[in-house]
Amino acid sequence: MTNYLPYLAIWLMACISLTSSKAQPCLMNDSLTLVEIYNATGGPDWITTWDLNTPVSTWYGVTIEDCSVTCLDLDGIDGCTYAYSLLGNNLKGSFNTVPFDLPNLKALYLSGNQINGAIYSLSTLDSLETLCFNNNQLSSLVPDFSNATNLTTLMLANNQMNGYVNDSQFPSLKLLWLNNNNIRNILNTPTFNGLEWLDLSNNYYNFGQLAFISVLNPNIPTYYYAPQDSLELEQDGWTLSVSAGGNTAENTYTWYKDGVLLNSSLGNNSIIPSDAGYYQCEVSNALITQANFKQDLELWSKNTYFTPCIPTEIIAPSTICINSTTQFNCSYTSDSTSYAWNFGSDASPQVHAFRAANVTFNSLGTKTIALTVNYGDCVETIYHTVEVIPFTETYAGQDQTIYPEDSAQLTATIIPDATYLWEPSSYLDSWYSPTPKAAPITTTTYVLHTTLGTCVQTDTVTVFVLPPTVFAGLDTYVCSGEGVTLGGSPTTSVTGPNVVVEWTTTGDPSTISAINALNPTVTPIENTTYTVCVTDGVLLGCDDVYVEAIQGPTAIDAGDDQLICLGTQASIGGINDPFAIYSWTPTTGLSNPNAPSTLASPSSTTVYTLTANRFGCTISDTVTISIDPTCKKAP
C-alpha cells in the first residue's frame, strides 16, 4: 500500500510557503517538484540550502516569472547564467525517481555537483532552452529530450554517460557538449541543422564513427573530437591487434614497445611481438584530419604488457596400433593452463581435461586429434594426425620351470619387421632376440616389448627356478679305517661351470678323499657326520650323511708255518675273540674249520687262511703247513 504521508507533508509545507509569500496557487505544482529535488539530493546538506518555511521566491537559485519557475541554478554561482564552475552546491543523490514537472522551466544549471545515476525523463520540460549538467556523476543513457524542442544548449560534459543522442530531439540545438564521458556508440542519424558547437572529445569514438558524424555535419563552426580515450589492445594467441574503426586501409598504425618505435605501416592493424614488454599503438586516419575537418586525431591504445604465447606441440607418435594404449602429451605446462583434448568417437577416452592422456583407438584409419590450450590471454587449438594400424598380438611363450644352472628356451611370436626387447636382460644370452635362452638362478618374470614402427605391445613369461637338489647319500656304516663312497646319483641337480661342491666333516677332514668331488670316499675310524654344500656364487643348499665306523677284530694269528710228516697233525691258530666269527679256508684236513684254533692234517703242503668276522668287519692271516717227504708216520 502506498504511503502518502510524505507527499502530504510536502504539500503542507508548500502551502505554508505559498501562504506566507501570498503566492498564487499556480505555483503549487512547481513548488512540489522543487521540494522533491530538495529531498532527492540531500537538501539539508547543500552549501546554500533552502528554508522550506519561507516563500519559494526566496529559495537560492530559483527564478520565478509569471507564477512559474523559469530557472533553477544550483551550480554554486548564482545569476541563472552559465558559468564554468566546479564548485557546485553539494547536491548528492539521484534523479531516478524525480519527475521534472516544471513546464515553464527555461534554464537548469546543476553543474559541479555529485548527482549520479540516470536522469528521469525530461519530456515534460517543454520550455527548456538551456540544460547544464557538467561535472557530475551521471551514468546510463543520455536522457530523453523528445519534447524539448526549444532546447538550444545541452551541456553533459564530464560525466559517465553512455548511449547515443538522437538529433531528432533537438531541432533548435546550437551547443552540444558530450565530452569526457564513456560514450562508445555513434550518434543516431547525427545530422544537426544549425548546430554551432559540438564537443565529442574524450569519449570512445573511433575513426568510423567520427567520419560518419563529420561527413553529415561538415559546417559546424566549433567542432571538437580530439582526443579520444585509449583503445584496447586485443591479444589472439601470438598476435596483438587494435581496432580503430574506419577503413583500415586508410589507417596508419605505429607500434611501440617499451616506448621505443618498432614500425609504422598503412593498413596493418596487427603485430606479432617477439618478446615480452609494454606495447602501444598510435593510429591516424587519412580522413579525420584538420585539413578535412577541424582537428588532427591520433587514437592511442593502452600501454599494455604482453607476454608472447609459447608455441605448443602435441607429443605423440604418428602411427599407433589398434587397441593398444598410447600416451598423448603436449610441450607446454603451467599451473594456470587448462587443456581440452578431443580424440574422436572411436577413442577411449573421447575427451580429456589434463595435459597427458592415455588413449586407445578401436578402429583402423587416419585419426585427427585436437588439443585446445588456454593460459592467460593465450588460447591455441592445435591438431595432430595419427594412423591406426593392425598389429598381431605379441606372445612371450609359456611359463617354464628349471633348476639352477639349467636354461629355458624363450620363444616369442615372430612378427615380420618387428623388434624385440626383453626386461630384465640379466641371465639372457640375448635381450633383443625373439628366442633367447634364459638361465636365472632365481624365479624371474621377463617382460617382452615387441615394437613395430611406433606400435608397442607387451607380454610376460615367468621362468620358475626350483630349489636345488643336494643329496649327501643315505646314512651308512663302514668298518673302521675302511672306505665308503658318499653322495647320491646325482649328489646335486645343479650343474654348470660355476657350481662348486664342497664336503666337510666334524671329524678328521683327512678321511675325505676329495672335498670337491661329487662322490668322494671317506675312511673314518670313528662315527662321523659328513656335510656337502653346493654354491653358484650363492649357497644353493647343503645335506648331511652319518657314517658309523664299526670296530672289527683287533688282532688275528693263524700260527707259525710248520713242517710235518704225512699223516701227522699240526695245531694252528690260537687267538680267541668271543665277539668274532672264525672261518678257515680251505677246510681240507682241518678238525674244525670254524674254530679260532684247530688241527690240520693236510695230505699235501697247504696254505690255510684264518678270517675273523666281527659285525661284518674281517681280518685274515695265513699259515703254511708243509709235508716233509723224507719222513713217514711211525707205525
pLDDT for res 15 = 42
Put simply, whether the predicted model's pTM sits higher than 0.85 gets the answer no
For the stretch 61-83, pLDDT in tens is: 999 999 999 999 999 988 888 87
- Quick one: 507 exposed, middle or buried, by C-beta within 10 A (0-12, 13-18, 19+)? middle
pLDDT for res 539 = 86
Whole-angstrom distance, CA of residue 99 vs CA of residue 172 = 23
β-partners of residue 613 are: 581, 618
Handedness of CA 181, 183, 188, 193 (dihedral sign): positive
Cβ contacts of 404 within 8 Å, gap of 6 or more:
441, 465, 466, 468, 494, 496, 536, 540
Question: What single string gives the DSSP state of each residue in 234-250?
Answer: EEETTEEEE---S-GGG
For the stretch 178-202, pLDDT in tens is: 999 998 876 666 777 888 999 999 9
Whole-angstrom distance, CA of residue 246 vs CA of residue 269 = 12
Q: Contact, 487 vs 423, CB < 8 A?
A: no
pLDDT for res 444 = 94
Neighbours of 632 (CB within 10 A): 11
- Would you give the distance in Å from CA 431 to the centre of its chain? 34
The SS3 assignment for 14 reads helix
Can you list the residues of the chain whose pLDDT is less than 50?
1-23
pLDDT for res 31 = 93
Distances (CA, A) of 147 to 27, 103, 143, 150, 318: 22, 11, 12, 8, 73
Q: Contact, 124 vs 149, CB < 8 A?
A: no
CA dihedral 200, 201, 207, 211 (to 10 degrees): 40
Question: What single string gives the DSSP state of each residue in 349-402?
Answer: SSEE-SS-EEEEE-S-EEEEEEEEEEETTEEEEEEEEEEEE--PPP-----EEE
pLDDT for res 40 = 92
Whole-angstrom distance, CA of residue 355 vs CA of residue 135 = 53
Distances (CA, A) of 597 to 43, 578, 589: 161, 13, 13
Whole-angstrom distance, CA of residue 130 vs CA of residue 177 = 12
Question: Taking the chain, what is the end-to-end CA distance rounded to the nearest angstrom?
Answer: 181
Amino acid at 619: I
pLDDT for res 632 = 66
Q: Contact, 422 vs 436, CB < 8 A?
A: yes
